[in-house]
């Protein structure tokens, strides 16, 4: 009996999961925190249901264990009980679906904002352009370009690809999106903590895919405005606009958002 009771305890202990995080992190963005809380809810729900199932199994093993050779009394068609174990799981599924829908709606929401960054992925690097300014940041392979954004501000991202499929992934944000040729993949990020966060391409895209890194630096609004002024580069901005126009004329029109998942 003690050995049986120790099994779930040992499973939790050996899994390395932390409570109440359950192996995940809240992240520094509003959407990453929403996904984290959803994960916590799912984990707690799974533990409660799992514990209930284990208790039912133990009850059946102990209550109806063999006693002599007599066949125990057989019971069929317990309508109230059958209704309970049919309706309750359905309600649980609806609850999980509703919670997921709320979080997913936050993920795909695109509120209006004046802060916009055009992110272009190419073999094998990243280009960050800031419309309305002359600031363009480009880096490839080991250069690790940095996308600077302000804290506590909705930042609209237009994600494109010049050549093949790439993956825009920031681990700390619990966030990933595909960069697709000919598709303007749009999303919004709102960071609530300052700091520098690691990003990388997560879609195998060629020889130097493993070196396709970038960083996201979250700063105050004053620091952001100062950075824009200090990194103005009209010639680079003009070259970027020309390249964007050529890409637009070459590829098909924008398509609906394509996502590589949550989060």
CATH of the domain at 57: 1.10.287.90
- Structure tokens of 178? 């595909």
Asked if the peptide bond before residue 166 counts as cis, ω within 30 degrees of 0, the response is no
Confidence category of residue 232, pLDDT binned at 50, 70, 90: confident
Task: From 54, 83, 108, give the residue that closes a domain.
Answer: 108
> Among candidates 122, 108, 119, which has minimal Cα distance to 203?
122
Q: What is the mean pLDDT of residues 228-256?
A: 59
- Is residue 58 domain-resident? yes
Total tally of structural domains belonging to the chain? 2
Instruction: Please name the residue ranges forming H helices in the chain.
Output: 2-15, 30-63, 79-108, 221-230, 234-250
- What are 221's two structure tokens? 């609004």
165-207 pLDDT, tens per residue?
999 999 988 889 999 999 999 999 999 999 999 999 999 999 9
Q: Is the pLDDT of residue 235 over 90?
A: no
| Whether the model pTM is above 0.75 | no
User: 133 and 92, same structural domain?
Assistant: no
Q: Are residues 135 and 104 in the same domain?
A: no
% of the chain exceeding 90 in pLDDT: 46
Residues 88, 119 share a domain: no
The token duo for 54 is: 């284990």
Predicted confidence (pLDDT) per residue in 146-168, tens digit: 999 999 999 999 999 999 999 99
Are 124 and 97 in the same domain?
Answer: no
Classify residue 75: in a domain, yes or no: yes
Over the stretch 99-141, which tens digit does the pLDDT of each residue have? 999 988 888 888 888 999 999 999 999 999 999 888 899 998 8
- pLDDT tier, 223 (very low <50, low <70, confident <90, very high otherwise): very high
Residue 36 has pLDDT above 80, yes or no: yes
pLDDT at 252 over 50: no
Residues 243 and 123 in one domain: yes
- Does some domain include residue 39? yes
d(CA 161, CA 184): 9
Written as six digits, the tokens of 44 are 């707690």
Range of the domain at 228: 115-250
Q: In this structure, are 97 and 28 located in the same domain?
A: yes
Residue 232 near residue 130 (C-beta atoms within 8 A): no
Average pLDDT taken over every residue of the chain: 83
Q: What is the mean pLDDT of residues 90-106?
A: 91
Distance CA 79, CA 24 (A): 41
Say if 263 falls within a structural domain: no
Q: Is the model more confident about 5 or about 126?
A: 126
Question: Three-class SS of residue 187?
Answer: strand
Backbone φ, ψ for residue 173 (5° rounding): -85, -5
């Amino acid at each position: 009996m003690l050995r049986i009771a120790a099994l779930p305890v040992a499973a939790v202990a050996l899994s390395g999961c932390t409570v109440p995080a359950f192996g995940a992190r809240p992240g520094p963005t509003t959407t990453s925190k929403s996904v984290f809380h959803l994960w916590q809810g799912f984990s707690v729900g799974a533990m409660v249901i799992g514990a209930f199932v284990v208790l039912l199994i133990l009850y059946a093993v102990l209550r109806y264990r063999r006693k002599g050779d007599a066949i125990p009394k057989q019971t069929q068609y317990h309508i109230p009980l059958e209704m309970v174990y049919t309706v309750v799981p359905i309600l649980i599924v609806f609850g999980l679906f509703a919670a997921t829908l709320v979080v997913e709606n936050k993920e795909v929401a695109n509120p209006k904002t004046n802060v916009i960054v055009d992110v272009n992925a190419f073999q094998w690097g990243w280009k960050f352009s800031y419309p309305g300014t002359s600031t363009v940041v480009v880096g490839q392979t080991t250069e690790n370009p940095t996308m600077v954004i302000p804290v506590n501000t909705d930042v609209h991202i237009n994600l494109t690809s010049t050549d093949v499929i790439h993956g825009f992934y920031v681990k700390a944000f619990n966030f990933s999106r595909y960069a697709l040729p000919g598709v303007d993949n749009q999303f919004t990020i709102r960071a609530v903590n300052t700091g520098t966060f690691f990003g990388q391409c997560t879609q195998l895209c060629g020889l130097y895919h493993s070196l396709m890194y970038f960083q996201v630096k979250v700063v105050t609004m004053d620091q952001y405005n100062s950075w824009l002024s200090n990194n103005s580069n009209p010639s680079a901005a003009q070259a970027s606009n020309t390249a964007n126009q050529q890409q637009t004329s070459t590829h098909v029109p924008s398509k609906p958002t394509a996502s590589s998942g949550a989060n």
